[in-house]
Structure 1
Amino acid sequence: MRHQEGLALVAAAATGIQVGAAMVATRFVVHDIGPASLAFLRYAIAVLCLVPPLLMSARVRFATRDLLVVMALGIVQFGVLIALLNLSLQFILSTRAALLFATFPLMTMIIAACLGREHLTGAKVAGVALTVVGVGAALGERLVTESGTGEWLGAILVLAAALCGALCSVLYRPYLARYPTLPVGTWAMLASVVALAAPAGMEGLFTETSRLDPSGWLIVLLIGLSSGIGYVLWLWALKHTTPTRVTVFLSLSPITAALLGVALLGEPFTPGVLLGLGGVVAGLWLATRTPVASSDNDV
């Protein structure tokens, strides 16, 4: 059990890194393609990657009601959340978006406690708070000096996206306890692709010539491939440990974005980045160091 939980935390960490990398990549293409179109392509590619292993795995039969709920959660998790996040990046810089999105685990912790899925502990609260502080330290002065039009609208959109993700992270657990991870993830993504087809069509994805150049299409392809792998890891982690322990690793996403900025964009590696990384690591340790109580695993 402890071994499985350790692997779940590793999977959650990998997902946090993937989200940060995808956020940076999105900034390169979001102005050349609509937010709904980008979300549609992202998860259409991800579904295509997951279908072959799903067909090779044992056939799983869902209860009709359970399947409808999983698909509805997928529409919110993949369609609504990503569309809101992509739209927000048209109004707010990725650094600020990353910090606001880092409230995801805090929202998850509160929702899980209100629904009786987890017990709040001092270590969890302190750990989540410390990761948010660490993210703020890593982003540093850019949060103060960078500005743009529509900041408030962008901030509201990011927080709404984080709330969607927090709700889904808590509500998925009963279905992950009943069914294997891969079918749940595939059906959830497929539902979101169907739901995103209409808004993507309204943006002209299927009727207008794309403004993406070959490098832009390559970025979209990589975002889609990584999203498929990342989400299966995310669901597997949620299956084997509590939602707060999984979502707290999303604090790695802005750290990843900052480090990628240093590596790819030539941004300076400031003491704030190092301090922020230390804060995030300390917060992750606090939030995950205590044994999982039996009540934390009830669904």
Structure 2
Amino acid sequence: MGVNRRAWLLFVLVSVLWGIPYFLIKIAIDDLSPMLVVAGRCAIAAAALLPVAALRGSLPALRGRLPVTGLLALVHIVGPFLLITYGEQHISSSLTGILIAIEPVVIALLMAGSEPITNLRLAGLVAGFAGVVILVGLDVSGDRWGLIGAGMVLLAALSYAYATKLVQQHVADVPPDALTAATTTISTLVLIPFALFHLPPAGSVGADSWLALGGLGVLCTALAMLAFYRLIGLAGSNKAGLVTYVNPVVAALLGVALLHEPVGVGTVAGFLLIVAGCWLSTRPARSPAEIPVNAV
């Protein structure tokens, strides 16, 4: 199989794997608390990733990096995972996926110090945030809890954007398998004590919720991270970063088709503005470390 074909297969795989978390979260929180869902998916991912990193011998690269790795775990996993999962108690999975797509626009804003904001990029920033205003204004206007849920998801996008900058500045040289294994393990250790207070009564959780949690841990966290970094190696960071434009479409389609979530003209208009904003605000091509690192 040629490199291009493998890259395309990985691109499709990552786009799907990062498009389905919002759908799976919606199913899991029917029976499980958001805290337990996040702790569970982190624990499952860590259990899958640690043996991979150990077999590859990449864990020693983390020596002396515990403080920054711990901070990355908080802003890349613990914070955004909790914000998204709690936020989905109040807004649809399709809206969640679309709002997260604002991340590249936020990254462009955070990188303004090193990359001046040109007129083209400014137009992208304006378009992206206009899309958010349309989405929030039309989908959750007048719904206090809906606004809170949307705000949580937007804070998660901001956290992901900061995580990108953190990786660029401090841990870009650490092997991805070691870094993801470490961040998911640290996240698990942070979250488990809190999750123990949210255990469900025996027999109260349906099989679909457990399966959704397993999918979040194995597929959407562990496998998606490894596939994404492999895609970077084959196709380059700029092309790999295009998954940011595709996974919200997957999230919206799943929400509409399987959860019967409504998608109106305002939702489509907001999404198109965000995509246009992402494309414009990331021109010209960014350096390898400036791609989104969202692992929802």
Equivalent residue number for residue 147 of structure 2: 152
For residues 47 and 88 of structure 2, what CA distance do their matches in structure 1 show?
26
User: SS state of the match for residue 20, structure 1?
Assistant: coil
Q: Which of 177, 182, 197 is residue 177 of structure 2 equivalent to? A: 182
Equivalent residue number for residue 232 of structure 1: 226
Q: Deviations over 1:215-241 (max 9, x none)?
A: 221111111112112223445678964
For residues 62 and 144 of structure 1, what CA distance do their matches in structure 2 show?
46
Indicate whether 1:42 and 2:37 are aligned: no
Contact 1:70 1:175 in 2 (8 A): no
Q: Which runs of 5+ in 2 are unaligned?
A: 292-296
Q: Which of 136, 143, 166 is residue 171 of structure 1 equivalent to? A: 166
Contact 2:36 2:195 in 1 (8 A): yes
For residues 58 and 268 of structure 1, what CA distance do their matches in structure 2 show?
48
Q: Which of 222, 243, 246 is residue 252 of structure 1 equivalent to? A: 246
Return the letter of the residue paired with 1:224.
G
Return the letter of the residue paired with 1:34.
S
Contact 2:123 2:280 in 1 (8 A): yes
Q: CA RMSD in A?
A: 4.0
Deviation at 1:177, TM superposition (A): 2.8
Q: Give aligned pairs, total.
A: 285
For residues 160 and 292 of structure 1, what CA distance do their matches in structure 2 show?
23
TM-score by length of 1: 0.75
Q: Which of 199, 202, 224 is residue 204 of structure 1 equivalent to? A: 199
For residues 225 and 259 of structure 2, what CA distance do their matches in structure 1 show?
27
Q: 1:81 to 1:279 in 2, by over 3 A?
A: closer
Contact 1:135 1:251 in 2 (8 A): no
User: SS state of the match for residue 92, structure 1?
Assistant: coil
User: SS state of the match for residue 191, structure 1?
Assistant: helix
Q: Which of 195, 207, 220 is residue 214 of structure 1 equivalent to? A: 207
Return the letter of the residue paired with 2:31.
D
Query: What percentage of residue pairs aligned between the two structures are identical?
Result: 24
Return the letter of the residue paired with 1:228.
A
Q: Deviations over 1:166-190 (max 9, x none)?
A: 1111111244432211101110111
Q: 1:284 to 1:109 in 2, by over 3 A?
A: closer
Q: 1:151 to 1:286 in 2, by over 3 A?
A: closer
For residues 271 and 148 of structure 1, what CA distance do their matches in structure 2 show?
19
Q: Deviations over 1:8-33 (max 9, x none)?
A: x9867754542321101111121311
Deviation at 1:82, TM superposition (A): 0.4
TM-score by length of 2: 0.75
